[in-house]
Chain A
Amino acid sequence: MDVAALITWVLTALGGFFLLATWVRHGGHRQPSSSRFPPALIFGHFALAAVGLVVWIIYVANGSDALAWIAFILLVPVALLGFTMFARWLPAYRQRGTLTGAAQTATASAPAERNFPVAVVAGHGVLAVVTVVLVLLTALGVGGR
């Protein structure tokens, strides 16, 4: 169970890296920016998730129950920040649906998150939920380590 969570966590992180790279490449971090993601929101999500992953790796190596719970507690704000970004991304996604191809790329003031591929956002979200569930079950001792 702990290794399964590690695998889903790493896959989730890869998706997150891709989304962050897309956001930066389209100038989301520059000020002023039309992005609806404040830097503290996206980088807070990124940093807490990275720290949590390191804690989880240590847990997998040494099996301390306290570390499993610390990792889960770290995941709570990570998930909340992630849901907040998802809610803020939806308007940009809907707006994209109303524009044609040329108009989409020509809109200079388009928020950076409009360039997120839907499949990556969906995969990142689903894997994140699976990771949180697996981490919680592992911390509770359900199904063994």
Chain B
Amino acid sequence: MGENAMRTEAVITTRFGESKQPVSAVLAGPYGHPFHPILVTVPIGAWVCSLVFDIGSQFVDHPGFLNKGSEWLIAIGVLGALVAATVGFLDFLTIPAGTSAYRTALVHLTLNLFITAAYVLNFLWRHGTYQRPEAVGGGQLALSIVSLATLGLSGYLGGKLAYRYGIRVADEGVQEEGFRARTPDSAAPHQPKST
């Protein structure tokens, strides 16, 4: 029984370590420097700004420029999401199947695919009114709000994968390197001056 428990423990530890290593350092980023977290800033930023433009278009006098800008931002976000998804997929492959981290990643991946598909639909929906100098329609605005809210949920799961499960994060032994003092003097606790 005890031996089985030790064997199970060893399997978990080994598989846990696999998810910290890149499948391809060139494409997914070297150890401790994954590319996926920085790539997702493009779709997140573009889609957040797109919603700001959508809302702004409801209040300004000549909303055509915000309508067009919002559509551009949706397109930029979709392309950025595809690039981020490609790299994210490589990180997904490092996670052992049947684990909590794998299930979380699968939900994160699936939600992101639906969100990107929703933005593609949103883009096509708006495309017919691209030249009209009017505010963004209520339906398109509502779809953007739902998509962005879902992106928030998916982003939360992405954060859980990185900060709770440590996917593609350097192990604690490596992290300790950043907390070593340069000299014994500087490592000493601060002593108040005696008068």
Contacts and interface: CB of A to CB of B under 8 A. Distances in A.
Interface of A, secondary structure class, is helix
Contact of B93 (A20, A39, A58): A20
A29 B23 contact: yes
B49 interface: no
A54 B27 contact: no
Contacts of B24: 29, 39, 43
Interface residues of A, number: 16
A39 B90 CA distance: 13
Give the interface centre of B24, B26, B27, B89 by most chain A CB atoms within 10 Å.
B24
B23 A24 contact: yes
B82 A54 contact: yes
Contacts, number: 31
Given A17-B89, A21-B93, A46 B27 contact: yes
26 contacts: A17-B89, A20-B93, A21-B93, A24-B23, A24-B93, A24-B94, A25-B93, A25-B97, A29-B24, A39-B24, A43-B27, A46-B27, A46-B86, A47-B86, A50-B82, A50-B83, A50-B86, A53-B82, A54-B79, A54-B82, A54-B83, A57-B78, A57-B82, A58-B79, A61-B75, A61-B123
